[in-house]
Amino acid sequence: MESQLGLLVENSFDVQYSLSVREALNQLPDNFTITDPSISGNPIVFASRGFLKMSGYSKDEVIGRNGRIFQGPATCRRSVMEIREAIRHERTIQMNLLNYRKDGTPFWMLFHMSPVFSEEDGRVINFVAVQVPISRKLRRSGSEFGRSNGVNCCEEGREIVFGSCRREVCSDSSVNLGRVSVMDSLLESDDRGLEVEEPCEASDMEKRKAATAVNNILSVLTHYSELTGRLVSGKRCCLSRNGLLGSSISLSLGRIKHSFVLIDPHLPDMPIAFASDAFLKLTGYARHEVLGRNCRFLDGVDTDPATLFQIKESIRTEQACTVRILNYRKDNTSFWNLLHISPVRDASGKVAYFIRVQTEESCKSQDRQRLSSETRQLSVVGAVKVALRTLSMDAGSSKS
């Protein structure tokens, strides 16, 4: 199941930039991941070879997962919250962060994350997260070689780097390699504690390296987005004008595990502004095939015109309604859809969106089963309204 999810998120990345973008990105020497905030959970859609080697994970273990898999017991909660806030407000952030390799060992890194914007409508398409290992120049105390106050040291100017994303020796001599192996065995039991007690500060050189890496990645993404006609940029060129929701709202709505879409009644043809993962799974469409389109693509030759008229009247009068309608998936197979439509109003009482909640029915359900489905649909409507209201309040408070 996880491999299927990974394939889906990889495909979404290919559609945006073309198939050739992966090889181009892997030519870059940097450690980085790219995530897609339009997909529930903001999963990783690309991980560089350098990052996989640094973290110890394979590509299949990373693609489709959220970056929280690299956090551990000593990862600063405040830093994690700052990253989440940067995602919500779609801005760049840079910080020192303690993360964990696959084998459980901690490492300090400079974390630099930047949004990638659509030139067409100003939406955030991706987030690029560069991870630069922080090198610790370790102290030496007297004749001690192993540790000094819990901190590893250097010998004869050959630096042993701990607290970074890997341990390495500047000299490749067998003598030094042997010393490192001895030190590793001595420190293996409490190395995690040393990392926590001795926070790392990135140097100016490491900060410049992170900024340069982001610029190089953005250059590649910009070039390959031109091949698909879905142009991106490191800066927001315009405000969203096609009704698609921002990444912060999409992430919040993505936590609701039910089939639904939000449509914007204020734009021509009332396009879909958000589609849940469950809706995409139900209908067989990809996200880019759905967003910005009217819901009529679900209708087919045997869809009842009277039911369609009832839906239109519900929207015209801004009233909720529940209907049973025959819809069609992307592969042209039909399914009975118990559809609930409800207006979502803003603080002034005006309709901001309409939510359409879908529940597939294999046959005409009994009254008790239908009542249960309608109850679940109403709970989805309530959850969406709460999410939108909360984010609107947050946006209003941040402006004041």
Domains 2-134+200-233 and 247-399 equal at CATH topology level: yes
205 CB contacts (<8 Å, ≥6 apart)? none
Can you name the CATH fold of 2-134+200-233? Beta-Lactamase (3.30.450)
Domain ranges of the chain: 2-134+200-233, 247-399
Q: Are 258 and 278 in contact (CB under 8 A)?
A: yes
Burial class of residue 396 in the structure, from the number of CB atoms within 10 Å of its CB (0-12 exposed, 13-18 middle, 19+ buried): exposed
User: From the CB of residue 4, how many other CB atoms can be counted at a distance below 10 Å?
Assistant: 8
Residue with tokens 């701990």: 162
Q: C-alpha distances in angstroms, 87 versus 60, 114, 184, 231, 247?
A: 24, 9, 37, 21, 7
Facing residues of 131 across strands? 111
How many Cα atoms within 13 Å fall on the side-chain side of residue 46? 27
Model pLDDT, residue 369: 55
According to CATH, the superfamily of the domain at 247-399 is: PAS domain (3.30.450.20)
Model pLDDT, residue 205: 92
Helices (H) and strands (E) in the chain, counts: 12, 11
Distance CA 274, CA 279 (A): 10
Model pLDDT, residue 139: 38
Model pLDDT, residue 261: 93
Distance CA 340, CA 314 (A): 10
Q: Is 376 helix (H, G, I), strand (E, B) or coil?
A: helix
Distance CA 63, CA 168 (A): 28
Q: Are 91 and 97 in contact (CB under 8 A)?
A: no
Model pLDDT, residue 390: 62
Facing residues of 340 across strands? 322, 357
Residue ranges for the chain with pLDDT beneath 50: 1-2, 138-195, 197, 239-242, 394-400
Residue with tokens 């922080």: 134
